[in-house]
Amino acid sequence: MIRIPDKNDFLNKEEYYSTLFHELTHSTGHEKRLNREGVTKAVNFGSDKYSNEELIAELGSAFLCAISGIANKVIDNQQAYINDWIEIFRKDKKMLIQASRQAQRSTDYIMGVN
Protein backbone atom coordinates (compact mmCIF):
# COMPACT_ATOMS: atom_id res chain seq x y z
CA MET A 1 0.00 0.00 0.00
CA ILE A 2 1.30 3.44 -0.90
CA ARG A 3 0.28 6.36 1.27
CA ILE A 4 0.81 9.97 0.34
CA PRO A 5 -1.02 13.16 1.30
CA ASP A 6 -4.26 14.03 -0.46
CA LYS A 7 -3.90 15.56 -3.92
CA ASN A 8 -5.35 18.83 -2.56
CA ASP A 9 -2.46 19.11 -0.09
CA PHE A 10 0.04 19.66 -2.91
CA LEU A 11 0.80 23.00 -4.55
CA ASN A 12 -0.17 21.56 -7.92
CA LYS A 13 -1.10 18.28 -9.56
CA GLU A 14 2.38 17.85 -11.04
CA GLU A 15 3.95 17.78 -7.56
CA TYR A 16 1.35 15.24 -6.48
CA TYR A 17 2.22 12.94 -9.37
CA SER A 18 5.95 13.44 -8.89
CA THR A 19 5.58 12.30 -5.27
CA LEU A 20 3.30 9.42 -6.26
CA PHE A 21 5.82 8.28 -8.88
CA HIS A 22 8.63 8.45 -6.28
CA GLU A 23 6.67 6.21 -3.92
CA LEU A 24 5.60 3.88 -6.74
CA THR A 25 9.26 3.45 -7.63
CA HIS A 26 10.04 2.52 -4.02
CA SER A 27 7.25 -0.07 -4.17
CA THR A 28 8.94 -1.88 -7.05
CA GLY A 29 11.78 -2.80 -4.69
CA HIS A 30 9.54 -5.24 -2.79
CA GLU A 31 10.93 -8.79 -2.67
CA LYS A 32 8.12 -10.05 -4.92
CA ARG A 33 8.85 -7.38 -7.51
CA LEU A 34 12.44 -6.25 -8.23
CA ASN A 35 13.82 -7.22 -4.80
CA ARG A 36 16.05 -4.24 -3.93
CA GLU A 37 17.98 -4.38 -0.67
CA GLY A 38 17.12 -0.77 0.16
CA VAL A 39 13.47 -1.85 0.41
CA THR A 40 13.64 -5.46 1.56
CA LYS A 41 16.05 -4.91 4.47
CA ALA A 42 16.16 -2.41 7.29
CA VAL A 43 18.54 0.42 6.41
CA ASN A 44 19.58 3.44 8.43
CA PHE A 45 18.50 6.91 7.36
CA GLY A 46 21.36 8.60 5.53
CA SER A 47 23.30 5.38 4.97
CA ASP A 48 24.67 4.52 1.55
CA LYS A 49 21.94 1.91 0.99
CA TYR A 50 19.24 4.36 2.06
CA SER A 51 20.66 7.05 -0.19
CA ASN A 52 20.89 4.66 -3.10
CA GLU A 53 17.22 3.69 -2.75
CA GLU A 54 16.23 7.36 -2.55
CA LEU A 55 18.22 8.08 -5.70
CA ILE A 56 16.52 5.17 -7.49
CA ALA A 57 13.09 6.44 -6.41
CA GLU A 58 13.77 10.02 -7.46
CA LEU A 59 15.23 9.02 -10.80
CA GLY A 60 12.26 6.71 -11.36
CA SER A 61 9.98 9.62 -10.57
CA ALA A 62 11.88 11.80 -13.04
CA PHE A 63 11.57 9.14 -15.75
CA LEU A 64 7.83 8.74 -15.13
CA CYS A 65 7.34 12.52 -15.07
CA ALA A 66 9.09 12.72 -18.44
CA ILE A 67 6.86 9.97 -19.84
CA SER A 68 3.82 11.81 -18.45
CA GLY A 69 4.88 15.13 -19.93
CA ILE A 70 5.22 16.93 -16.59
CA ALA A 71 9.02 16.82 -16.17
CA ASN A 72 9.62 20.53 -16.77
CA LYS A 73 7.13 21.52 -14.07
CA VAL A 74 8.85 19.49 -11.32
CA ILE A 75 12.49 19.35 -12.40
CA ASP A 76 13.68 22.01 -9.94
CA ASN A 77 12.24 20.09 -6.99
CA GLN A 78 13.72 16.84 -8.25
CA GLN A 79 17.13 18.44 -8.63
CA ALA A 80 16.93 19.88 -5.11
CA TYR A 81 15.97 16.49 -3.67
CA ILE A 82 18.87 14.74 -5.38
CA ASN A 83 21.26 17.50 -4.28
CA ASP A 84 20.41 16.65 -0.66
CA TRP A 85 22.18 13.31 -1.16
CA ILE A 86 25.07 14.51 -3.33
CA GLU A 87 27.81 13.97 -0.74
CA ILE A 88 26.99 10.30 -0.46
CA PHE A 89 26.95 9.97 -4.24
CA ARG A 90 30.45 11.44 -4.40
CA LYS A 91 31.75 8.57 -2.23
CA ASP A 92 30.69 6.00 -4.82
CA LYS A 93 31.29 7.09 -8.39
CA LYS A 94 29.27 4.16 -9.77
CA MET A 95 26.18 4.84 -7.67
CA LEU A 96 24.50 7.14 -10.20
CA ILE A 97 24.90 4.68 -13.07
CA GLN A 98 23.75 1.71 -10.99
CA ALA A 99 20.81 3.65 -9.56
CA SER A 100 19.84 4.83 -13.04
CA ARG A 101 19.74 1.22 -14.21
CA GLN A 102 17.55 0.26 -11.26
CA ALA A 103 15.31 3.29 -11.82
CA GLN A 104 14.85 2.27 -15.46
CA ARG A 105 14.00 -1.29 -14.40
CA SER A 106 11.45 0.16 -11.96
CA THR A 107 9.97 2.42 -14.62
CA ASP A 108 9.69 -0.51 -17.00
CA TYR A 109 8.01 -2.56 -14.27
CA ILE A 110 5.47 0.21 -13.56
CA MET A 111 4.80 0.72 -17.26
CA GLY A 112 4.46 -3.04 -17.87
CA VAL A 113 7.48 -3.20 -20.17
CA ASN A 114 9.51 -6.42 -20.08
User: Which tens digit of pLDDT belongs to each residue from 72-113?
Assistant: 877 777 788 777 777 777 878 788 889 999 999 999 999 999
Q: Helix 71-83 and helix 48-68: axis angle, to 10°?
A: 170
Does the CA dihedral 105-14-70-97 come out positive or negative?
negative
| DSSP string covering 17-37 | HHHHHHHHHHHTTSTTTT--H
Give the total number of structural domains in the chain: 1
Identity at 44, one-letter amino acid code = N
Does residue 71 lie in a domain region? yes
| Reported confidence tier of residue 19, pLDDT bands at 50, 70, 90 | very high
Rounded Cα–Cα distance for residues 30 and 9 (Å): 27
Q: Helix 95-111 and helix 48-68: axis angle, to 10°?
A: 50
- Per DSSP, 70 falls in state -
Query: 28: domain range?
Result: 12-111
User: What does the pLDDT read at residue 101?
Assistant: 96
- Per DSSP, 7 falls in state G
Does residue 105 lie in a domain region? yes
* 16-30: average pLDDT: 96
User: What does the pLDDT read at residue 17?
Assistant: 95
Rounded Cα–Cα distance for residues 45 and 3 (Å): 19
Does residue 68 lie in a domain region? yes
pTM tops 0.75, yes or no: yes
Does residue 74 lie in a domain region? yes
Does residue 56 lie in a domain region? yes
Rounded Cα–Cα distance for residues 65 and 60 (Å): 8
Does residue 4 lie in a domain region? no
Across the chain, mean pLDDT equals 89
Does residue 7 lie in a domain region? no
User: Which tens digit of pLDDT belongs to each residue from 55-69?
Assistant: 899 999 999 999 999
Does residue 2 lie in a domain region? no
